[in-house]
Structure 1
């Protein structure tokens, strides 16, 4: 029986998170129509050996030197031979018990869909409430930690830009899909738990480097896809808001991140010029009219909606 779904996971030195996830999705890995591919991005904590010994059915590859998340995702996608490829982070698992049926139904019903994004609950623990009144709809982009590609569509666009290293690859792909007239849809029927404490992440030791990468990826995207006339205003606003809200209030780590991101941008200009796929003003206007990307799901919103319906 041919494989219909591939589950792709990139991991590095997070053996406990990965183990939890794999045990949570074991029922999916046992299906005859599913294959799981994992890229170990240079782990030194025994991840590779752990997967070999405990999950022999998983197709495992390794970067002996860390190459980054985006490089690893590209490498996994190059190996996919199934119709659909589900990409999840090593600290994310499905709460919905039959996600594959819902995913396949959504793709079959709408042949214009190239990619589906899941309903994501960001918390260390699963939510007590799982019901949602939201309905599936088209949106601008998607979240990297939980989504699924129609692989025939993935092969129509350029690979994720590995020189971004981290952040921004989702919007890069979303612009490419838009230019090809493919759609991205939100599928609230499929709920996943991303086991991340957002507040503690903002206080983490890697805050500055995350901000640097986030800023520069946003600027890369401006120069790659936006109409020329919009770039100066967008760039100026991005920089000004960081200065106004953070630097002028004494957050010098943000100033350092800004300066380093500017340096990164200068060095990336040759790649940007080579890879640009600019939207026309009309295309940009149409793109902006799409619904915003659904990044977070909050069960309290469902309680409020339920009260309003009562």
Structure 2
């Protein structure tokens, strides 16, 4: 009888076979461990991703959406298959730099039973950093970054699934509010460094700039209406609109204007879902949540720990 795994590595991918191939090579030492399983969701790829995994990684549990269902739907599907104690979620263009990360992860969870989720120290660049040392220390924070984190599955099972109607963006904050309501904590784990192979500055030039901005804006607004005390919503909503107008539209970025209008339309047609899924924080809960450390999204080798 096969021993129960302790760690599950979850990867969602779509039409990025080359990135996935590189990632799998980088984490091969983890995949070969007896206490680790890997589950990949191919979200409707048309570049031979499924054939490659089946031919080269028979031990990986592969699931496939014949038609693309989106990142959040795929993450829910992956998490529903996990039977291990911890689920490590990484993007198909991300790999570990830290050696023996699993031992560090397990130790962090063991030290604090209130931790539901650990967020990794993420270096966003096409190449690995030349300097990996950091003086940062683990601490509690508001939310987490989706590209590299690990769930204590006991906590995941206590909250609703990610909202797949968001499609892309916002699921991390959705989970963070739900966890906060149930007295679970999210912590930053700088001891585990990962390389997210993304050119941040180049993203604005990508063909999907408008749709990414649209989804980013609407997910933020969905979260306001789902979780914020009603009195705080109008000011924050109008402020985000003004910032987009001031920093982008008034400077000639009409793609941003299109994204803004479409995002507002998305919110209007999603009102029934918002009403159904609302789990609003009380004024006191909202105050306590806002007092938490901001989410650590990016790490720079030149940064020093805050005192």
* C-alpha deviation, 1:250, in angstroms: 1.4
CA distance in 1, matches of 2:102, 2:204: 33
* C-alpha deviation, 1:294, in angstroms: 0.3
Q: 1:132 is paired with a residue of what secondary structure?
A: coil
* C-alpha deviation, 1:291, in angstroms: 0.3
* C-alpha deviation, 1:137, in angstroms: 0.2
Number of the residue aligned with 1:21? 23
State yes or no: 1:8 paired with 2:42: no
* C-alpha deviation, 1:222, in angstroms: 0.2
Per-residue CA deviation, residues 243-287 of structure 1 (Å, 9 max, x unaligned), is: 111111111111111110011001110000000000011101100
Number of the residue aligned with 2:181? 179
Query: Per residue, is there more helix in 1 or in 2?
Result: 1
Deviating more after overlay: 109-118 vs 239-248: 239-248
Per-residue CA deviation, residues 120-160 of structure 1 (Å, 9 max, x unaligned), is: 00000000111110000000000000000000110000000
Match of 2:247 among 245, 249, 254: 245
Number of the residue aligned with 1:81? 83
Residue segments in structure 2 that go unaligned for 5+ positions in a row: none
Match of 1:169 among 168, 171, 178: 171
1:275-290, aligned counterparts within 5 Å?
A: 275-290=277-292
* C-alpha deviation, 1:2, in angstroms: 1.6
1:1-310, aligned counterparts within 5 Å?
A: 1-302=3-304
Q: 1:125 is paired with a residue of what secondary structure?
A: coil
Per-residue CA deviation, residues 281-301 of structure 1 (Å, 9 max, x unaligned), is: 110110010000000000011
Residue segments in structure 1 that go unaligned for 5+ positions in a row: 306-310
Moved runs in structure 1, 4+ residues, more than 2 A? none
CA distance in 2, matches of 1:9, 1:139: 24
* C-alpha deviation, 1:10, in angstroms: 0.2
CA distance in 1, matches of 2:27, 2:252: 45
The number of equivalent residue pairs is: 304
Q: TM-score, normalised by structure 2?
A: 0.98
* C-alpha deviation, 1:91, in angstroms: 0.1
CA distance in 1, matches of 2:112, 2:84: 19
Deviating more after overlay: 149-158 vs 247-256: 247-256
* C-alpha deviation, 1:205, in angstroms: 1.1
After superposition, the CA RMSD in angstroms is: 1.0
CA distance in 1, matches of 2:80, 2:66: 18
Deviating more after overlay: 199-208 vs 108-117: 199-208
